[in-house]
């Protein structure tokens, strides 16, 4: 069984290669023909999806054997003195799951875009970027080593940059793209350092080899140093995820990234790219596990981000921004899940979140499309009636994220909370639980305000075309039933786990608590926004400072901007001043001195012939004096002539 | 002792003297309209002598006559080649310029030849009085040549300045010679060396200083350089060229012989060597610095030639065959580099009647050849590869560094890069300036030949210095084995 | 003279050298109104050189290593100068780089009409000179070629340059004199080295001979001589604080000169430091390494910060190139084969990148007549192809993976973090600031609202696309398949004896963070 | 003072020579008239002549076989000839410059400077 599958797995490289081919085709051949471009791109990603599904099925069939022995195909990429890097593909359940999720969401988004991007001038460019993104993301998922992962990691960053700034003529989009790139770059700085230190220590970047090296050397203090060394490396590696997955304090770019086209937000900034950080931590989990401090840190950052972002989401009015903060919050969930040791739960949540968050973003896109680029939820209302498919699927998404059984989010979120509780992190559990409540609250708020309530007369919404609704329906199905993967005997955590596999039974008690928290949130929102029993405005009015802080996202953007504009740019200006007037000034000063002294010396040529004669004779006398009286004394000065160092 | 073959030793000198007299006579006899032919005549006779001298260099043995009064060695012949080549190029480039002088009387070429003769005597002299006679023959010819534009007050002012200062310096030189004679009873270099031995007295110091000052004046060593810019500026441009190139080289020929045979550091004084290092450094520094603010091309070249004297002194300080080779090599390429520059200056001065640098504006457009030759020549003077000057400087400074003097090498290299600054100012004017109101100045005939020849030699030696280097080493070894 | 031609020897390199030279001579004798023909001939000359050097690049036997395609002709026997050509893994990439950029620079100047004849004559001299430095195996010849290039640059800057913050005359003069003063010290060092090597007779300038006679150089001598070379080559590679000529010079220079200067000429400094400094004077290199490392950090961070404060496009890239050269310097200071690999690759990578971006800036300036960033904006509307070129250049500049720059930087970091962890970390921090200023100029120049005043501008097309295609292709080809480049460089580092030198040097512990 | 004890020896001649030389130098430095300067130059050259002749007479008055070695005297003769030539050219130049400038004052010969 495994043998036949092995042959299939060797072809995994085709999955990223197809979109790449499509990118090249669009860029160099079909860019003038809109229809061809999108066809090529969608065909490529659908084929990739097919392959991904085939591989996924193959993985399920291979069963435990594959879990123990991932299929790795690799070739040399760089080979110089002291640095040898391979590039290849790894097929294991984790990468198989990611392949499926990425390919699925990417194909849905690309199909959806057929409707959403209708009439946009940059159509071909859009699909070229989409293909490039699909290539990069799929390539990252298949990476066999850290450097390969980093390369694709940066490439998805590039695609994110290009797609956020897709409407480059919008100043906001341009700035958001820049911000996204630079903020993640800060994280990448740490990641790069981590990679360097790791290679430096273990002479390899291969995940399996690293894992083996670390486990054999962990006891050997002489090689690894103290645990502190591992901790430092783990911290550095974690900086990458902090940037990419928008963990506090590098989360600021993600809400702004919503300036891109909504399908892009769905694909990149909700379902796939932003979870790359989680994926990386999962891949490097052996490193984090070796350092309890680092794990603690990961959990802390994750939990804080979860509640922090959720609290901001409550006070936002922009539909995409609410979703963006929700994404941040959910990413925090995944991260702290990893931190508390709920490895499979985190990745499970990664998958389910991809389904329902992509669904909600696409739904939001459908709404925005229908309302001609209106994004403020207070400008919407009563949309369910006009847009039944969008409304229904969106509602499924809300239920899923709120953790209402049997929707997908319930299963994954519950596992995370259970993991936190059972692994002895009560505070984090509490935070997670409260976040679950907040999540349900603000998502319901969004839903109630935008889809229920009175219609706004100025709006003339209509249901979106089939190209947009079909992906919604498909994703809604996955959001509804995706969580059931937790149920069978060979369930999700059988395939994707860290260390020894220990099947765990559902803890229905804990599950009940989290369901209650979710329902509470929904009810609360219903009470405020549908029943209007308590006026939202009055709450805001009662806590004006809190509201303002939340509405302004804790002013973190402002702080950063101040730092950038005053500290960084100011330093730049100061250094420039120094450069011009001191470093260069010295040079110019020497030049000026030379020219000035030349001008002065020039005056010695007075044109008076008798002066010349006198100077001449005077010089003769002086030289004679030196000669006559300096002999002996002066020759001791002779070495002076030899000064200069070389000799 | 008295047996010597005059044909083997003195042919060039005799031929030159005869030619000078013939030209003088012709100039007096033929009508002014026919005097145009005197330039080619002079040039051809110089070519003839030069060819013989070249033969002389490679095939005639080292001899001397009158007890070493006059030497015929490769060192001397090398310098003769140099003087003759310089004279030839000056004559070739001066045709048009001299024709335009209203009171042109034909003795110009005769004087050039007598000056050349004087230089040759200096190069060959093995004795102080003979050297002095050569020096005065050269200098007196130059007095007249400098003041040749008798209607031009600047020219005559330069003449009188040169005369007074030159005579003062030669009086000082002579005083030194007389002291040497008093100390040793001889004026021959070899006997003087043995006579002075290793004994020092104030008189011997005084004599040395006086002789150094006298010759230093001719090579415009700082602080004896003050005359140079004034005289260079006032003199007719071809004369300036000859003065800058040949008279300086002649003084170096004499100085090398005198210094290496009689006053070098073993025989004389380590202090003296330190002093020379200081003077050479000062010469390089001040010469280059004062050239910076100049606006007159001749004055600029004058200061630059002061600086060049400093570089050449470096080779003497090395006191070795390598050093002398450097001086010889550098002096020869200096002829061509300077000659290129002066040929252009002469040409512009002839066509536009001006020596101001600003009048070179747009020369790259008006006469591309002249601009290119000027650029190459100036850069060769600065020692920028692949031009000959670089190799020359390399020889000089590697010789002196081989002796352990590094500071002077720093000064020399840095100052030659500083010199690029003012050379480039000229280049800038030629290439950037528009010069809309200035006439086109196409180059023709002998002038064009001079420019092209200097240019090609400058580049050729820079790219493939071996032939000249081997001549120079042969000449140096004939003096310092 | 006994300079008979050697029986063996490859004439490939002289041909490469001769192609642009021949084109130059043809142009000299052409009427100056035939600008079209002049450009075509110049392009042909450089194309032949590029094709031949590509051939050399792939024909070079990497497993054999060492100097190949050698040709040695005794030139000045009494000095020991040989006209010796040859390339190895260190110089061949530089040779290829020169020709890639040279070829592109002809096309980047395709719209040059003002005094075109002189321009292309000087440009071809410049290209030949730079090429000569890289293929010389003899120090004397190396130096000869190096200084050949200085004067054409000056003339080109003052005639075809542009005056912005500083006048072009000032910029040109500063560039020239600065580099020449640097080379004066270099020359002193070179003469001293030559004399030291000739202590026991047989004077020579051959790099390998000089390196083989290391036992003749005492440690103090090595320190002093390396110090001189550091100053000379350091000012060429714009090492802090000797960098101030660089931004002014690039800003004043015409496009082609900026391309060649930033692209390859600067690299002569790094190349010289490796070939002559590290290879011949390893003890000196070790002595000075901490200083180089410290200055390199200043380069990286200081220049990156200053680039943030610039308003003129060329100044941004000028300071950015100062900043990037810091990486090369760190690599040299780290003194191990990995980092030297990275240094050479980085020089190649930065050369291609900066040439591309300078050519794009050249087109922008040519079309809009401004380089002031606030005056520009939204050019992607009117000139999408130019925007693509600019973005590719920018992405390469900030070291995006899949560009050759990334892998070069990575190699440098990998090599240097072992020995100089603190400096390396500071240097790596530079990638953040590089990203900031690069993305800022991309955003402010290419993106943003459409500006009607640029509506009449035409996108780059036809010959103008050549720099983008050639250089862009190289950036990605070498970035995606790094072994193409690194295989060669590595063979150069490991086979030249350099590796051995470096290993001896790095025996002594330099201390570390962990 | 007993004049009879005053022997006229080498040092006397040298002293006279030195004094003449210095007088000449002083003239060159201080005189304003160009003719006077030319005369001062003559003084300097004559000082040298005195030196040469005195040295020959007192120190190096050798005789080989029947020939006296007269180097100093010969040198003096040469110097006299050269000085004559120099002064001839000098006077001619003075005439030229007087025609051009209507002056013989060296202070006014300063058009060429800096």
Radius of gyration of chain B (CA): 21
Tell if the CB–CB gap between C169 and B417 is shorter than 8 Å: no
**What averages of pLDDT result for each successive group of 10 residues across chain A (647 residues)?**
71 89 89 86 91 88 77 87 87 88 91 86 89 92 90 91 89 89 90 89 85 73 60 89 88 87 87 89 87 88 90 86 90 89 87 90 88 81 82 88 84 85 86 89 87 78 84 89 74 76 73 86 85 75 81 83 86 90 90 90 86 91 80 50 37
Which pLDDT value is given to residue B158? 92
Q: Compare CB distances from C195 to B390, B395, B401 and report the shortest one's residue.
A: B401
Q: Name the residue among B390, B428, B465 with its Cβ closest to that of C158.
A: B428
- pLDDT the model gives residue C100: 94
Residue A196 near residue A188, CB atoms below 8 Å: no
B69 neighbors B130 (Cβ within 8 angstroms): yes
Task: Give just the sign of the alpha carbon dihedral B319, B322, B325, B331.
Answer: negative
- The CA-atom distances, in angstroms, between A641 and each of A636, B274, B275, B313, B416 are 10, 7, 10, 14, 19
Complex ipTM value: 0.90
Alpha helices in B235-269 (DSSP H): 237-242, 248-258
Closest residue in D to A604 (Cα–Cα): D114
Question: For residues A108 and A95, what is the distance between their CA atoms, to the nearest angstrom?
Answer: 20
Whether C222 shows a pLDDT value over 60: the answer reads yes
Put simply, whether A29 touches C (Cβ < 8 Å) is no
pLDDT of residue A344: 85
Asked if omega into A127 is within 30° of 0 (cis), the reply is: no
Is residue A221 within 8 A of residue A306, CB to CB? The reply is no
Whole-number pLDDT of residue C513: 30
Residues A334-363 as b or e (16 or more Cβ within 10 Å = b) = bbbbbbbbbbbbbbbbbbbbbbbbbbbbbb
Residue C51 has pLDDT above 70, yes or no: yes
In a domain, D11, yes or no: yes
Out of B165, B168, B407, whose CB is closest to A644? B407
Distance, CA of C221 to CA of B378 (rounded, Å):
34
Q: Supply the pLDDT for residue B200.
A: 65
- The predicted structure's pLDDT at residue C268: 92
User: Hey, is A75 helix, strand or coil?
Assistant: strand
In chain B, the N- to C-terminal Cα span, in Å, equals 24
Q: Nearest-CA distance from C186 to chain B in Å?
A: 9
- The three-state secondary structure class of A549 is helix
Nearest CA-CA partner of A184 in A172, A173, A176: A176
Residue C204: pLDDT over 70: yes
Residue predicted with more confidence, A61 or C464: C464
Task: Give the CATH number of the domain where residue D65 resides.
Answer: 1.10.287.3510
Distance of alpha carbon B410 from alpha carbon C231, whole angstroms:
13
- CB distance from A629 to chain B under 8 Å? no
Whether C310 and C319 have beta carbons less than 8 Å apart is answered as yes
Are the beta carbons of A608 and D107 separated by less than 8 Å?
yes
Q: What residue numbers bound the domain in which D43 lies?
A: 7-108
C-alpha to C-alpha distance for A565 and C258, rounded to whole angstroms: 30
- In this structure, the dihedral spanned by the alpha carbons of residues A364, A366, A372 and A375, taken in order and rounded to 10 degrees, is 0
Asked, as a colleague might, if the bond just before D5 is cis with ω within 30 of 0, I would say no
Q: Identify the CA nearest to A327 among candidates A439, A483, A414, A185.
A: A439
* Contact of chains C and B by CB distance (3 or more pairs under 8 angstroms): yes
Residue C507 has pLDDT above 70, yes or no: no
| Distance between B128 CA and the closest CA of chain A, angstroms | 20
Helix (H, G, I), strand (E, B) or coil at C294: helix
Helix (H/G/I), strand (E/B), else coil: C84: strand
Is D113 domain-assigned? no
User: For the packed helices B388-402 and B445-463, what is the interaxial angle rounded to 10 degrees?
Assistant: 40
Query: Alpha helix (H) ranges present in C309-444?
Result: 313-334, 337-368, 379-382, 384-397, 404-419, 421-441
The answer to whether B237 touches B341, Cβ cutoff 8 Å, is: no
- The confidence score (pLDDT) of residue A638 equals 47
Residue A59's nearest CA partner among A13, A14, A9 is A9
What is the nearest CA distance from B384 to chain C, expressed in angstroms? 6
pLDDT of res. B128:
92
pLDDT the model gives residue A1 = 53
DSSP C138: B
Question: Tell me: the pLDDT tens digits for B74-91?
Answer: 999 999 999 999 999 999
Residue A83's beta-bridge partner residues? Answer: A80
* Chain centre to alpha carbon of residue C109: 19
Chain A contacts of C417, Cβ < 8 Å?
Answer: 193, 196-197, 200
pLDDT in tens, B404-433: 888 889 999 999 999 999 999 999 999 887
Contacts A–D by Cβ distance under 8 A: 28
Q: Are B180 and B192 in contact (CB under 8 A)?
A: yes
Chains that touch C (3 or more CB pairs under 8 A): A, B
Is A167 in CB contact (< 8 Å) with chain C? no
Quickly state the pLDDT bin for B103 (edges 50, 70, 90). low
Q: How many domains does chain B fold into?
A: 1
What are the structure tokens assigned to C221, written together? 């001598």
C-alpha to C-alpha distance for A6 and A92, rounded to whole angstroms: 11
In chain C, % of residues over pLDDT 90:
44
Q: Does residue C309 belong to the interface with chain B, where contact is any CB pair within 8 Å?
A: no
Q: Where are the domains of chain A?
A: 1-144, 304-317+338-546, 552-602, 604-647
CA distance C464 to C356: 12
Nearest-angstrom CA–CA distance, C327 and C426: 11
Q: Check residues A411 and B115 and name the one with the higher pLDDT.
A: B115
The DSSP 8-state label assigned to residue C74 in this structure reads E
Q: How confident is the model at residue C510 (pLDDT cuts 50, 70, 90)?
A: very low
D74: in domain: yes
Instruction: Tell me, yes or no, if A613 comes closer than 8 A to chain D by beta carbon.
Output: yes
Strands (E) across C246-288 are located at none
Beta-bridge partner residues of A145: A206
Residue A603 structure tokens: 């005056």
Name chain A's partners: 3 or more CB pairs within 8 A: B, C, D
What is the rounded average pLDDT of the residues B61-81?
86
Mean per-residue pLDDT over chain C, rounded: 88
On the question of pLDDT at C328 being above 90, the answer is yes
For A260-301, give the DSSP string: S-HHHHHIIIIISGGGHHHHHHHHTHHHHHT-HHHHHHHHHH
* Alpha-carbon distance values, C185 to A35, A235, B407, C269 (Å): 65, 47, 11, 13
Q: Contacts of residue C228 in chain A, CB cutoff 8 Å? A: 646
List the domain range (segments joined by +) for residue B172: 6-479
Strand pairing category for B70-72 and B63-65:
antiparallel
Give the domain ranges of chain C. Answer: 11-506
Question: Among A495-499, B230-234, C219-223, C257-261, which stretch is predicted with the lowest mean pLDDT?
Answer: A495-499
Q: Is residue D78 part of a domain?
A: yes
Q: What is the overall mean pLDDT for chain B? A: 88
pLDDT at C6 over 50: no
Strands A83-91 and C81-87: unpaired
CA dist A621 and C11 (Å) reads: 62
Q: Which two structure tokens, joined as six digits, stand for A111?
A: 């199909």
Query: How far apart, in whole angstroms, are the C-alpha atoms of residue A601 and residue A604?
Result: 6
Instruction: Look at D106 and A609 and tell me if their CB atoms are within 8 Å.
Output: yes
> DSSP characters for A158-186?
HHHHHHHTSSTTSHHHHHHHHHHHHHHHH
- Give Cα separations from A149 to A106, A192, A240 (angstroms): 19, 11, 11
Q: Give the mean pLDDT of C187-216.
A: 87
Chain A residue nearest residue D41, CA to CA: A613
Asked whether C188 and A646 are in contact (CB, 8 A), the reply is: yes
A568, C436 in Cβ contact below 8 A? yes
pLDDT of residue C506: 59
Contact (Cβ atoms closer than 8 angstroms) between residue C290 and residue C195: no
Q: Report residue A179 CA to chain centroid gap.
A: 12
Q: What per-residue string of b and e applies to C280-297 under the rule 16 or more CB within 10 Å gives b?
A: bbbbbbbbbbeebbbbbb
Q: Is B127 on the interface with D (CB under 8 A)?
A: no
């Amino acid at each position: 069984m495994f043998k036949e599958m092995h042959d299939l797995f060797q072809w995994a490289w085709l999955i990223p290669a197809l979109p790449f081919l499509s990118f090249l085709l669009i860029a160099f051949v079909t860019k003038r023909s809109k229809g061809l471009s999108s066809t090529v791109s969608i065909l490529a990603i659908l084929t990739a999806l097919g392959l991904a599904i085939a591989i996924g099925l193959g993985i399920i069939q291979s069963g435990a054997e594959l879990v123990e022995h991932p299929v790795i195909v690799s070739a040399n990429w760089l080979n110089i003195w002291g640095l040898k890097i391979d590039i290849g593909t790894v097929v294991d359940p984790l990468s198989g799951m990611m392949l499926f999720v990425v390919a699925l969401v990417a194909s849905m988004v690309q199909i959806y875009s057929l409707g959403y991007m209708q009439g946009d001038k940059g159509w071909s460019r859009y699909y070229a970027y989409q293909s490039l993104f699909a290539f990069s993301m799929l390539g990252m998922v298949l990476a066999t080593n850290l450097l390969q992962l980093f390369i694709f990691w940066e490439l998805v960053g590039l695609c994110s940059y290009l797609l956020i700034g897709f409407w480059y003529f919008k100043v906001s989009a341009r700035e958001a793209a820049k911000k996204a790139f630079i903020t993640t770059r800060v994280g990448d700085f740490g990641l790069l350092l981590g990679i360097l230190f790791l290679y430096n220590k273990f002479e390899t970047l291969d995940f399996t080899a690293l894992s083996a090296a670390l486990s054999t050397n962990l006891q050997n203090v002489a090689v690894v140093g103290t645990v502190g060394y591992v901790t430092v490396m783990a911290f550095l590696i974690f900086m990458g995820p902090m940037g990419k997955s928008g963990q506090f304090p590098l989360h600021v770019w993600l809400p702004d990234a919503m300036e891109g086209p909504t399908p892009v937000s769905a694909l990149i900034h909700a379902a796939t790219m932003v979870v790359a950080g989680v994926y990386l931590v999962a891949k490097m989990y052996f490193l984090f596990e070796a350092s309890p401090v680092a794990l603690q840190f990961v959990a802390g950052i994750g939990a804080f981000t979860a509640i922090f972002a959720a609290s901001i989401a409550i006070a936002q009015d922009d539909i995409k921004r609410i979703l963006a903060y929700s994404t941040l919050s959910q990413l925090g969930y995944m991260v702290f899940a990893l931190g508390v040791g709920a490895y499979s739960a985190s990745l499970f949540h990664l998958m389910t979140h991809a389904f329902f968050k992509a669904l909600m973003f696409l739904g939001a896109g459908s709404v925005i499309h229908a309302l001609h680029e209106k994004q403020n939820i207070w400008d919407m209302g009563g949309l369910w009636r006009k847009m039944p498919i969008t409304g229904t699927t969106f509602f499924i998404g809300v239920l899923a994220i709120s953790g209402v059984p049997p929707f997908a989010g319930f299963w994954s979120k519950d596992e995370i909370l259970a993991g936190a509780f059972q692994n002895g992190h009560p505070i984090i559990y509490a935070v997670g639980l409260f976040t679950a409540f907040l999540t349900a609250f603000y998502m319901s708020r969004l839903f109630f305000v935008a889809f229920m309530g009175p219609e706004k007369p100025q709006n003339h919404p209509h249901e979106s075309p089939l190209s947009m609704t079909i992906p919604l329906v498909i994703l809604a199905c996955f959001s509804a039933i995706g969580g059931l993967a937790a149920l069978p005997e060979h369930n999700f955590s059988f395939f994707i786990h860290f260390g020894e596999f220990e099947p765990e039974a559902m803890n229905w008690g804990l599950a009940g608590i989290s369901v209650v928290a979710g329902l509470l949130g929904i009810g609360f929102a219903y009470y405020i926004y549908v029943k209007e029993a308590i006026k939202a405005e009055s709450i805001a009015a009662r806590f004006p400072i809190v509201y303002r802080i939340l509405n302004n996202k804790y002013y973190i953007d402002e702080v950063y901007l101040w730092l950038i504009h005053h500290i960084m740019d100011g330093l730049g200006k100061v250094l420039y001043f120094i450069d011009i007037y001191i470093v260069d000034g010295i040079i110019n000063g020497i030049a000026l001195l030379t020219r000035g002294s030349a001008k002065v010396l020039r005056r010695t040529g007075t044109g008076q012939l008798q002066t010349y004669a006198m100077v001449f004779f005077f010089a003769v006398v002086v030289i004679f004096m030196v000669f006559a009286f300096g002999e002996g004394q002066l020759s001791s000065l002779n070495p002076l002539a030899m000064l200069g160092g070389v000799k | 002792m008295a047996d010597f073959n005059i044909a083997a030793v003195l042919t060039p000198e005799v031929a030159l003297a005869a030619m000078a007299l013939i030209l003088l006579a012709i100039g007096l006899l033929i009508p002014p309209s026919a005097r145009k032919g005197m330039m080619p005549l002079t040039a051809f006779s110089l070519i003839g002598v030069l060819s013989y001298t070249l033969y002389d260099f490679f095939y005639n043995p080292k001899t001397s006559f009158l007890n070493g009064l006059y030497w015929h060695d490769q060192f001397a012949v090398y310098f003769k080649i140099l003087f003759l080549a310089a004279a030839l190029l000056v004559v070739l480039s001066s045709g048009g310029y001299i024709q335009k002088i209203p009171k042109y009387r034909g003795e110009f070429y005769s004087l050039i030849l007598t000056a050349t003769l004087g230089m040759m005597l200096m190069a060959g002299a093995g004795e102080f009085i003979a050297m002095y006679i050569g020096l005065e023959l050269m200098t007196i010819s130059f007095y007249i040549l400098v003041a040749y534009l008798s209607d031009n007050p600047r020219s005559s002012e330069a003449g009188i300045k040169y005369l007074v200062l030159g005579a003062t310096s030669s009086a000082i030189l002579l005083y030194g010679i007389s002291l040497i004679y008093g100390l040793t009873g001889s004026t021959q270099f070899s006997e003087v060396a043995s006579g002075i031995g290793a004994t020092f007295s104030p008189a011997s110091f005084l004599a040395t200083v006086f002789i150094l000052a006298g010759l230093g004046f001719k090579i415009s060593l700082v602080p004896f350089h003050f005359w140079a810019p004034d005289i260079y500026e006032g003199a007719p441009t071809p004369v300036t060229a000859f003065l800058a190139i040949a008279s300086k080289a002649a003084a170096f020929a004499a100085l090398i012989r005198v210094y290496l045979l009689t006053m070098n550091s073993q025989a004389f004084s380590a202090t003296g060597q330190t002093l020379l290092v200081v003077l050479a450094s000062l010469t390089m520094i001040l010469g280059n610095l004062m050239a910076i603010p100049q606006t007159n091309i001749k004055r600029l070249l004058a200061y630059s030639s002061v600086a060049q004297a400093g570089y050449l002194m470096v080779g003497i300080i090395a006191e070795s065959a390598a050093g002398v080779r450097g001086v010889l090599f550098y002096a020869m390429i200096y002829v061509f580099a300077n000659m290129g520059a002066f040929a252009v200056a002469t040409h512009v001065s002839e066509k536009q009647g001006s020596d101001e640098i600003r009048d070179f504006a747009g020369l790259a457009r008006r006469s591309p050849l002249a601009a290119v030759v000027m650029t190459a020549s100036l850069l060769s003077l600065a020692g920028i590869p692949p031009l000959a000057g670089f190799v020359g400087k390399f020889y000089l400074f590697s010789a002196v560094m081989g002796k352990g003097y590094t500071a002077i090498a720093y000064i020399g290299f840095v100052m030659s890069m500083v010199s690029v600054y003012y050379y480039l100012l000229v280049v800038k004017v030629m290439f950037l300036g528009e010069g809309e109101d200035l006439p086109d100045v196409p180059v023709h005939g002998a002038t064009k030949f001079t420019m092209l020849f200097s240019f090609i030699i400058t580049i050729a030696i820079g790219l493939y210095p071996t032939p000249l280097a081997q001549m120079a080493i042969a000449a140096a070894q004939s003096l310092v084995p | 003279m006994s300079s008979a031609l050697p029986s063996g020897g490859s004439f490939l390199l002289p041909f490469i050298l001769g192609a642009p030279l021949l084109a130059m001579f043809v142009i000299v004798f052409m009427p100056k109104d035939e600008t079209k023909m002049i450009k075509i001939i110049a392009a042909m000359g450089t194309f032949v050189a590029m094709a031949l050097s590509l051939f050399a690049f792939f024909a070079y036997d990497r497993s054999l290593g060492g100097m190949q395609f050698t040709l040695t002709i005794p030139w000045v026997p009494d000095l020991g100068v040989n006209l010796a050509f040859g390339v190895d893994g260190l110089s061949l990439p530089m040779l290829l780089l020169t020709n890639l950029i040279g070829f592109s620079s002809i096309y980047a100047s395709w719209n040059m009409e003002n005094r075109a004849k002189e321009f292309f004559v000087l440009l071809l001299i410049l290209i030949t000179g730079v090429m000569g430095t890289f293929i010389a195996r003899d120090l004397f010849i190396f130096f000869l070629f190096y200084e050949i290039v200085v004067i054409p640059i000056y003339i080109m800057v003052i005639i075809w340059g542009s005056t912005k913050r500083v006048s072009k005359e000032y910029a040109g003069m500063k560039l020239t004199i600065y580099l020449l003063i640097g080379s004066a010290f270099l020359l002193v060092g070179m003469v001293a080295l030559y004399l030291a090597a000739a202590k026991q007779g047989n004077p020579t300038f051959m790099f390998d001979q000089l390196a083989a006679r290391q036992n003749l150089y005492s440690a103090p001598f090595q320190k002093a001589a390396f110090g001189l070379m550091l100053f000379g080559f350091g000012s060429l590679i714009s090492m802090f604080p000797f960098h101030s000529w660089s931004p002014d010079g690039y800003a004043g220079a015409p496009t082609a000169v900026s391309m060649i200067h930033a692209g390859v000429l600067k690299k002569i400094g790094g190349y010289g430091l490796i070939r002559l400094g590290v290879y011949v004077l390893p003890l000196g290199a070790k002595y000075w390494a901490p200083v180089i490392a410290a200055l390199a950090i200043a380069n990286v961070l200081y220049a990156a910060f200053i680039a943030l404060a610039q308003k003129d496009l060329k100044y941004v890239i000028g300071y950015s190139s100062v900043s990037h050269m810091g990486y090369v310097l760190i690599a040299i200071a780290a003194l191990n084969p990995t980092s030297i690999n990275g240094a050479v690759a980085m020089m190649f990578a930065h050369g291609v990148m900066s040439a591309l971006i300078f050519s794009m800036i050249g087109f922008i300036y040519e079309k809009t007549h401004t380089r002031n960033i606030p005056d520009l904006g939204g050019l992607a509307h009117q000139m999408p192809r130019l925007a693509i070129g600019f973005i590719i250049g920018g992405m390469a500049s900030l070291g995006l993976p899949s560009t050759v720059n990334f892998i070069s930087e990575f190699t440098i970091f990998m090599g240097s973090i072992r020995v100089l962890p603190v400096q390396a970390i500071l240097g790596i921090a530079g990638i953040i600031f590089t990203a900031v200023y690069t993305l800022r100029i991309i955003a402010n120049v290419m993106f943003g609202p459409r500006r009607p005043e640029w509506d009449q501008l035409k996108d780059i097309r036809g010959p103008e696309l050549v720099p983008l295609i050639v250089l862009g292709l190289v950036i990605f080809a070498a970035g995606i398949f790094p072994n193409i480049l690194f295989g060669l460089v590595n063979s150069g580092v490991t086979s030249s004896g350099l590796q051995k030198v470096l290993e001896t040097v790095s025996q002594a512990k330099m201390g570390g963070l962990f | 003072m007993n004049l009879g004890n005053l022997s006229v020896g080498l040092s006397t001649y040298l002293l006279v020579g030195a004094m003449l030389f210095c007088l000449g130098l002083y003239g060159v430095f201080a005189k304003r008239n160009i003719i006077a300067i030319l005369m001062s130059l003559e003084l300097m050259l004559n000082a040298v002549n005195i030196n040469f002749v005195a040295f020959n007479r007192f120190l190096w008055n050798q005789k080989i076989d029947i020939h006296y070695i007269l180097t100093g005297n010969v040198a003096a003769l040469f110097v006299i000839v050269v000085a004559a030539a120099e002064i001839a050219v000098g006077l001619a130049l003075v005439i030229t410059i007087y025609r051009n400038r209507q002056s013989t004052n060296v202070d006014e010969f300063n058009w060429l400077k800096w």
